[in-house]
Amino acid sequence: MKKVVFFVTFFVFWLAGALSALAEVTVRALGPSVIAVGQNFKVSYEVSITGNEKVSDLKVPEFKDFEVLGGPYKDVSVSSISINGHSTTMQKTLFSYYLTPKKEGRFTLSSARLDCNGQEILSNALVITVTAADKAAQQQGNTQGGNSAGQQLNLNDEVFVRQIVSKNSVYENEPFVVTVKLYYSIKVNRKNEVKYPEYSGFIAQAQDVADSERWGKERLNGKVYNTHVLGKFVLIPQKTGQVSLGRGTADLMLSVPVQQSVRNPYGAYYTTYANVNKYVGIQDVKIDVKELPEKGKPENFSGGVGSFQMSSSINADSLRANEAVVVKVKISGTGNVKYVKHPKIVFPNDFEVYDPKVVSKVNGSSGSIDMEFMAIPRFAGEFTIPEAQFSYFDLKSKTYKTLKTPEYKLAVAEGEAGSAPVMSNYTSKENVKRIGEDIRFINVTDLQINKKNEFLYGSLTYWLWFLIPSLIFAALFVLYRKQIKENSNVALMRNKRASKQAVKRLKAAKEHLEKDSKAAFYEEVLKALWGYTGDKLNMPVSQLSKDNIEAELTKCSVSEGLVKEFMALLDICEFARFAPSASSESMESVYDKAADVISRLDQEVKK
């Protein structure tokens, strides 16, 4: 009993130690230690989680001495590791920020932190020294008696990216347009990559930018800039309050003047430039998103915000039973057209109802939705299709409005006996509500009834369906067993492949013959001869010799003349290989003899 208690206690402590080794959370801060004023750099926080630990969101320090150009950008990787013989997963999440310093000095970024099971885990702090920019890259003066030195070029004033919104204050679900535009007064050589804001809290739809508005010039704060539209989006807010669009970055290659007014050998002055890679931050914008008023909101509110129109039509107001009736409804206008709830056409219970066809033609915040509702009446009678309603919030009047389709009267006459339903190309059908007991509809079409002697059961076809697959299976099984038996017989397999391997080597020898490559030719012929006899006679490589081969061929009842011819051919090839100049036999003759000897041996060897 004491031993049992001891082992149980030992196992519990061992398991606790193993689990503690498997569960580990660390946070590490990564960044440069020295940078220059105007230089962009990246700070990353790596969160490593081993096991299944649950942690809170990472809290990063304030970057008060730096301008945030973009971030956080999240990158997740998962790997499997083994600790003390136990396999577990490690997840690494990298949160990256792009920054630029505001001034010179020595600055400390305090620790990032997160919570794990009530325990606070801290990263290392980062100490960053910001020095003056490279004087050679900032000099703008005259080195040989030209113009006086200019002021330092501030790239943040020369190149920046703005988010221009069509509206600063909107209602929830009210679409607006944001244009991401690059402003620059120095040359931009290349646009490498643009990371747009994530637009959290919005539905974002990318829009095409017309060539006429992609490039241009604008005056901003008294200065003329070249402009380039990087992207255009329609945003639909999904939450209320002061909502931030977020930040992004544009990776650009700039041509920056580094030295001006330098005299060349011809007496003229010129400016030298350097290519500078710069991450330009996409400026953030806050949008005031207002809640939709509760006063007057209809119960069937579709979620539409904007200005809409609705029209409808019916294909016929009188028809026969089993003929299809189609009601078409079209909603068009401006607003969140793509995301509104569609109105429903309610058909009488005795109608067989099909799923509606919906076709959306929406471009940005305007467009239309075409709907077709189809049903088939089962019985004759007078029926009413009630009106359908569509409610939305009108931005002009700031009130809710309801659009209605007309009420349709439908006269259904008796259908022709045996007629099948006439319908459009509809393939899916809704379940139809039935009144009273669930009884199937009476079949009014002509029935096809088979005679007794036409049943499949007991017929020849019926038995063949069983017999033929069984025979095929038995034949395949026998072939499979035979193949397994042959594969297990190594000697038999070598014997079977002897000729095939010899032909392959003779084919290689033929290629060397055409290239007049003597050494390679005779080497391949020898491989064909030695390899053929080794496989055909099932002789291991260690026993392959002329005497052994001659003895084995004689045992296999090969004619004495053929054995001597084979041994002579071996001598010719070996002699020509090691003394090619002394060989009197032509390569073509040797090749023909080798092919002939192997073919005749294959017929005479009975082993």
- Give the whole-angstrom CA distance, residue 321 versus residue 237: 48
Q: Which residue has the tokens 């007057």?
A: 296
- Give the whole-angstrom CA distance, residue 138 versus residue 11: 69
* Structural domains of the chain, with CATH: 22-131 (2.60.40), 137-289 (no CATH), 298-413 (2.60.40.740), 490-604 (1.20.120)
pLDDT digits (tens, 9 = 90+) for 265-303: 554 555 667 787 888 999 999 999 999 999 999 998 999
Which two three-digit tokens encode residue 327? 């009601």
Which two three-digit tokens encode residue 148? 């006086």
pLDDT at 75: 82
CB 181 within 8 A of CB 216: no
pLDDT at 174: 95
pLDDT at 270: 58
pLDDT at 146: 37
At residue 349, the 3 state secondary structure works out as: coil
HSE value, Cβ hemisphere, 13 Å, CA-based, for 301? 18
Which two three-digit tokens encode residue 135? 């004087």
222: left (phi over 0), alpha (psi -120 to 50) or beta: left
The 3 state secondary structure assigned to 135-169 is: HHHHCCCCCCCCCCCCCCCCHHHHEEEEEEECCCE
DSSP result, 500-522 = HHHHHHHHHHHHHHHTT-HHHHH
Name residues of the chain where pLDDT drops below 50: 5, 8, 11-22, 135-152, 262, 267, 420, 422-439, 582, 607
pLDDT digits (tens, 9 = 90+) for 321-334: 999 999 999 999 99
Q: Which residue has the tokens 């012929």?
A: 525
pLDDT at 572: 84
- Give the whole-angstrom CA distance, residue 47 versus residue 118: 17
- Give the whole-angstrom CA distance, residue 369 versus residue 403: 15
CB 392 within 8 A of CB 340: yes
Chain-centroid distance of CA 313 in Å reads 43
Q: Which residue has the tokens 């992609």?
A: 214
Q: Which residue has the tokens 């189809």?
A: 374
Chain-centroid distance of CA 177 in Å reads 28
pLDDT at 312: 96
- Give the whole-angstrom CA distance, residue 560 versus residue 571: 17
pLDDT digits (tens, 9 = 90+) for 395-406: 999 999 999 999
- Which uninterrupted H or E stretch holds 208? none
